[in-house]
Structure 1
Amino acid sequence: MKLLGRTVLVTGASSGIGEAVARAAHARGATVLLVARGETKLKALTAELGLRAHHYTCDVGELDAVAELAEAIRTDGHEVDVLVNSAGSGRWVSIEDAEPGELVAMAKVPYLAALLTTRAFVTGMLARRAGWIVTVNSGVSRGVWPGAVGYASARWALRGLDLALKADLRGSGVGATEIVLGTVSTSYFANNPDSEDKLPKIAKIVPTVTPEQVADAICKAVERKRGTVIMPWQMKFVSSQGQHFPRMNHFMLWLTGARRKKR
């Protein structure tokens, strides 16, 4: 699916991967609909991109907010051809150190956000028998390390959503891509300084990629209709180990991961 002339909706578009995807899709000739909770950065990015850029403030983890978003986009005359679910949040924390409300928030964004946003816009895609849904996921969906229970389980839910969509939409004209990433040079660790220490030492074999590299990979995946993208290539090794040697993969991530503090 060529992005030229298409309408691409990007969640989490105010920074990081979402912002980079919006820029890359716009550069390829797409109309971009920028969605995030913070209005200031969205306005600035929309003004910078100029024509074919529109912004909508929305907490995509909330059911009513997503319904209002969909209605606003329809009222403005847009039909979403490509949905990029890149909104994400949550710190890496052990189960007993996470407040119940924090666990709920990590389940809402990214998992419920991707589920609700997909539901809001997939109907139009199905009616046109054309469309694409992208799920941005973490390497923790292929190998789980200690100290990130809420974060990891939400990313495994995202993986399940992508697989379920591929099965449900087969033959409909609507496709789905999951992009699985190692460390990306966003502000995540700066915003969650206690999380970086929990990254397993073995993860150092996987080099950091930039949001721009991720955005380029996402655009190419949509254009080439690729079902799964794992990057960088070293992450493919981690994914393969998790699939074929799950016990070994689990042990190595535990062995080189964060240790539970004695109480």
Structure 2
Amino acid sequence: MKLVGRTVLITGASSGIGEAVARAAHARGATVLLVARGETKLKALAAELGIRAHVYACDVGDPEAVGLLAESVRADGRSVDVLVNNAGSGRWVSIEDASPEELLDMAKVPYVAALLMTRAFVGDMIERRSGRIVTVNSGVSRAVWPGAVGYASARWALRGLDLALKSDLRGTGVGATEIVMGTVSSSYFENNPGSEEHLPKIARMVPVITPAAAAEAICRGIERGRGTVIPTAQLKWVAWSSQHMPRMNHFMLWLTGARRSARRRAPVSPATPS
């Protein structure tokens, strides 16, 4: 699917990977619908991009808000060709160091948000027999390390959503793409203090990529109709070893991960999701 002339809706578009995807898709000739809670940043990005960029402020973890968003998009006469479920949040923290509210928030965004957004727009895609649902996921959905229970389990739920969509949408003309990212040079660690200390040493073999490089991988995956995109060779090896050598993979991540006795408790207040 070439992006020129298509309409691409991106959640979490106010910063990081989401902003970069909006820029990359727009540069390819797509109309971009920018979705996040922070309307000010979205408007600044839309003003910079100019034509073919439209703002829809929304809390994508709220079912009512997502319903109103879908109504607004349709009322504006727009049909979403590509949905990029990118919004996400969550600290890397041991389960006992997270409040119940924080654990629920980590499940809500990204997983519940992706579920709600997909439901809101996939019906129109099925009716047109054309479209693509894109799930932006983390390498922790393949290889789990200590000290990231809420975050990791939410990302595995995202992986399950992508696999379920691939099965459920077969033959409809609507495709599903999962993008599996390693560390991206965004503001994640700044917004989630204490998380970087939980990254296993062995995971540092996976190179850090820029949001722009991540966005290019996402756009190429959409255009080529790929089912799964893993941008770096090192992360591909991690994903392969988790499937074919799970005991070794799990042991190495545990061995080089943060020891429970040495973990520093992160601040109680997590960052607000985009």
- Normalised by the length of structure 2, the TM-score is 0.95
Q: What's the CA shift string for 1:2-49, capped at 9, x where partnerless?
A: 101000000000000000000000000000000000011000001011
State the alpha-carbon separation in 1 of the partners of residues 169 and 48 from structure 2: 36
**In 2: Cα distance, 1:262 partner to 1:176 partner:** 40
* Alignment partner, residue 171 of structure 2: 171
Opposite residue 208 of structure 2, the aligned amino acid is T
Q: Which residue of 2 aligns with 1:212?
A: 212
SS of alignment partner, residue 230 of structure 2: strand
| Deviation sequence 1:197-242 (CA, Å, 0-9, x none) | 0000001111101111111111111111000011211000000110
Q: 1:150-189 counterparts in 2 under 5 A? A: 150-189=150-189
Runs of 4+ off more than 3 Å: none
1 CA distance for matches of 2:193 and 2:237?
27
- List runs of 5+ in structure 1 lacking aligned partners: none
Q: State the partner residue of 2:268.
A: none
Identity of aligned residues (%): 76
Tell me which amino acid in the other structure corresponds to 1:181.
M
SS in 2 for 1:231: coil
TM-score by length of 1: 0.99
Give the equivalent residue in structure 2 for 1:244: 244
Q: Which residue of 2 aligns with 1:131?
A: 131
Equivalent pairs counted in the alignment come to 263
CA distance in structure 1 between the aligned counterparts of 2:35 and 2:16, rounded to whole angstroms = 13
Mapped to 1, the partners of 2:69 and 2:92 lie a distance apart of: 30
> What is the alpha-carbon distance in structure 1 between the residues aligned to residue 231 and residue 220 of structure 2?
13
- Is 1:85 matched with 2:82? no
Tell me the residue number matched to 1:8: 8
Give the CA deviation at 1:192.
1.1
C-alpha spacing 1:262/1:225, structure 2 compared with 1 (3 Å): closer
1:92-136, CA deviations, whole angstroms, 9 ceiling, x for partnerless residues?
110111100000000000000001000000010000000001100
CA apart distance, 1:193: 2.0
Report deviation, 1:261.
Answer: 2.3
Deviation of the 1:168 alpha carbon: 0.3
Give the drift of 1:262.
7.3
Say what the alpha-carbon RMSD is for the aligned residues.
1.0
The SS at the match of 1:257 is coil
Structure 2 matches for 1:8-47, cutoff 5 A?
A: 8-47=8-47
Query: Deviation digits for residues 237-256 of structure 1, max 9, x if unmatched?
Result: 00011000111111100000
Residues in 1 aligned to 2:228 and 2:243: alpha-carbon distance in whole angstroms: 15
Structure 1 residue aligned with 2:270 = none
Q: How many Å separate the matches in 2 of 1:27 and 1:40?
A: 22
Distance 2:129 2:5 in 1: 17
